[in-house]
Amino acid sequence: MNVEHVPATAKTMIDVGSAQALIRERAVAMPVEYIPLAQAEGRVLAETIDSPSDLPPFDNSAMDGYALRWNEDLRPGAALMVVAELAAGDVADTVAPGVVSIMTGARILDGRDTVVPVEDVAVLRCADDGSPLEIRIDRTTTRGQHVRRAGEDIACGDEAVQAGTRLGAAELMLLRGIGIAQVAVRQRPRVVVACTGRELVDVPGRPLLPGQIYNTNGPYLALRLREAGADVLETRTLPDDASVFVAMARQWLAGGVDIVISTGAVSMGRYDFVPDALRTLGGETVFHKVKMRPGKPLLFATLPGGALFFGLPGNPVSSAVGMRFFVETALRCMLAMPSEQSWRMALAGGIDKKPGFHLYQKAELRLDAGGQLSLGLLKGQESFKTRPLLPARVWAGLPAQAETLLAGALVDVHPLCHFDQTLFTRT
């Protein structure tokens, strides 16, 4: 994305890249806390973890079969005596030299280096309990076959998971496998959401009076914030009253909130009181209005004590864009994650746009019969239309300077949540 180096003042409409840079300058990494691994799902790792052990921790069998020491005489037709049997979890310090009947996952004992699967042998004799006493090799055997070596997955001392990684199922599986019991993670940023407007109704299904609408921004933002790594302390609907807003903000700040988000009341109308309320609170407006659509009226400020404030427009898609590309920018910094890098993908069809504004468009990923992936812009891009968010799988970023983009043009593509940035690998 090209960044126009426009001087940043609260009264200057600035470009997207400059706005995000200003947010990153003011977003401070959260403190580190140590928690049990069992409680770490979805948390962001604060310290890189190197493996304290080999995984697997010992050589073990990848098949049900027979563990033995390979030699050149081990050809089809060879008959061998079985000296012992081992299942996964069995502990055996010493076993006489010879073939061991072994189950998948059981430890390969010293003196053995190869496993012959059960389907590659014939059992010639069995004990009274059914355990094999003598077998015949029926297929050619390769030295070292079907043995999982200690440290083959990850060796002791190797990097397991990097700092800044969100701990999902795969990361937790690996950490459990190498014996990690406790991890250092970033504290979740504490966030409150204030939806402004006398027209908002919070109770689903309650009959609407003329001029009323159901509040969709509050629940949407609360869910998206949790998905993006925040701790949502409260979602509240407030009237178009600056004094009420200021009183609630002071209460939240006294409680140690890290981010305050409002929706509505940030444009130029008579009831758009947020800028005045911020001045009453002693906040500093960093920027107000961004060269983008939807969401141009977005406001970013800092509050006394260092808390961040985001004033998002009231239209639901404008609010969604503000959340995704500005609030999540702050969250990444506060979780000590690297800056997000967009993907590049070819447009499935052309589009004309007004130059001067960066467009964020709801989009889908299209896979053709030849396996080629392209980006399809969805119908219904207006900021009040929420239904097109259902088929949207990504956001497309159309550059501000462009007026016409032809099919095949490469544009920025962003996942729905910043945590999903690793979906594709850049080559």
Averaged pLDDT for residues 111-122: 96
The span from the CA of 320 to the CA of 224, in Å, is: 9
Same domain, 201 and 326: yes
Specify the pLDDT at position 2: 44
Averaged pLDDT for residues 234-245: 94
Collapsing DSSP states into helix, strand and coil, what is residue 349? Answer: coil
Q: Are 291 and 15 in contact (CB under 8 A)?
A: yes
Q: Is 1 a residue whose pLDDT tops 50?
A: no
Share of the chain above pLDDT 90, in %: 90
Sign of the torsion formed by the C-alpha atoms of 51, 52, 54 and 55 = negative
Same domain, 364 and 250: no
The span from the CA of 29 to the CA of 33, in Å, is: 12
Could you tell me where the beta strands, DSSP code E, fall in 146-256?
147-148, 159-161, 182-186, 190-196, 200-201, 213-214, 231-238
Which range scores top for mean pLDDT: 12-16, 61-65, 236-240? 61-65
The residue behind tokens 């701990």 is 167
**b (16+ CB within 10 A) / e for 165-178:** bbbeeebbebbebb
Specify the pLDDT at position 269: 63
Domain boundary among 334, 367, 396: 334
Q: What is the CATH number of the domain that holds 122?
A: 2.170.190.11
Q: Is 34 a residue whose pLDDT tops 50?
A: yes
Averaged pLDDT for residues 329-345: 95
Which run of H or E residues covers position 298? none
User: What confidence tier does 422 reach under pLDDT thresholds 50, 70, 90?
Assistant: confident
Supply the DSSP symbol for 268: S
**What does pTM read for this prediction?**
0.90
Q: Per DSSP, what are the bridge partners of residue 260?
A: 192, 309
The span from the CA of 371 to the CA of 136, in Å, is: 48
Q: Which domain holds residue 249?
A: 16-31+189-334
Q: What is the CATH number of the domain that holds 388?
A: 2.40.340.10
Q: What is the CATH number of the domain that holds 167?
A: 3.90.105.10
Same domain, 304 and 207: yes
Q: Is 201 a residue whose pLDDT tops 70?
A: yes
User: What confidence tier does 95 reach under pLDDT thresholds 50, 70, 90?
Assistant: confident
Q: Are 162 and 36 in contact (CB under 8 A)?
A: no
Averaged pLDDT for residues 352-380: 95
Q: Is 267 a residue whose pLDDT tops 90?
A: no
Count of domains for the chain: 4
Residue 130 within a domain = yes
Same domain, 323 and 224: yes
Averaged pLDDT for residues 220-226: 97
Collapsing DSSP states into helix, strand and coil, what is residue 27? Answer: coil
Specify the pLDDT at position 424: 75
Omega cis (within 30) before 294: yes
Averaged pLDDT for residues 249-273: 88
Domain boundary among 334, 354, 385: 334
Residue 4 within a domain = no
What average pLDDT is seen over the chain?
94
Residue 6 within a domain = no
pLDDT digits (tens, 9 = 90+) for 144-167: 999 999 999 999 999 999 999 999
Could you tell me where the beta strands, DSSP code E, fall in 314-402?
343-346, 351-352, 358-367, 373-377, 394-398
Specify the pLDDT at position 7: 45
Specify the pLDDT at position 270: 63
pLDDT digits (tens, 9 = 90+) for 268-317: 666 689 999 999 999 999 999 999 999 999 999 999 999 999 999 999 99
Distance of CA 229 to the CA centre of its chain: 9
Same domain, 198 and 250: yes
Q: What is the CATH number of the domain that holds 251?
A: 3.40.980.10
User: What confidence tier does 5 reach under pLDDT thresholds 50, 70, 90?
Assistant: very low
The span from the CA of 318 to the CA of 263, in Å, is: 10
The span from the CA of 266 to the CA of 309, in Å, is: 12
Same domain, 160 and 196: no
Residue 172 within a domain = yes
Residue 7 within a domain = no
**234: its two tokens:** 């409260």
Residue 2 within a domain = no
Q: Are 141 and 175 in contact (CB under 8 A)?
A: no
Pairing of strands 32-36, 182-186: antiparallel
